[in-house]
Amino acid sequence: MELLIEVVKKVANKYMDRVNLIISGNTLTLEYMYYRNGIKDLYKTLEIEEFEGKLKVLVYPDHLEGIIDVSELDEIILTLDKQSNTIKHTQEEVQNIKKTYTKGTKVQLIKMYDLTNSVLSGTMGIIDFVDDVGTIHVNWETGSTLGLVVGIDEFKVFREGK
């Protein structure tokens, strides 16, 4: 129960404007909220329990599960912040993304904000294409093809001759 109390304190101090806390028995539920057009709505739910000196976290509706230290909770909430604030690109913005990030351009991942992230920071990749919503699809050196989201994920572009 000590770890859950630490989580409650951390969340209460930093995230109360975005998180509803629900305590039921030995489970802490965090409802992560987001705002769209002035309306508050549920984005994701985290169920947290103590497990062998760590936290067992289940993320819904994704059905992701992990065992983390309390210190890793900030990273999860930062990722939820980034994901929930994604903006829908206009067709003009998508066209600009397609012109800027062309097939064959080399990129290096700095940080991907994705709870299922299988691409590590520092990984190199080659852009394959940009889809119609503006996601940059990359063939990573690890074999992954996870896409980059402009304005959310952080990456470095390597241009020829520069």
Phi, psi of 144, rounded to the nearest 5 degrees: -70, 155
* 50 band by pLDDT with thresholds 50, 70 and 90: very high
Q: Which two tokens stand for residue 156?
A: 């470095």
Q: How crowded is the C-beta side of 51, counted as CA atoms within 13 Å?
A: 14
Q: pLDDT class for 91, splitting at 50, 70, 90?
A: very high
3-state secondary structure of 120: coil
Q: Is the pLDDT of residue 3 over 80?
A: yes
Parse the chain into domains and list their residue ranges.
2-84, 91-158
Task: Look up the CATH number of domain 91-158.
Answer: 2.30.30.30
Strand partners, 46: 30, 59
Rounded mean pLDDT, 46-52? 94
Given a cut of 60, whether residue 161 has pLDDT beyond it is no
Average pLDDT, the chain: 90
| Torsion angles phi and psi, residue 4, rounded to 5 | -65, -35
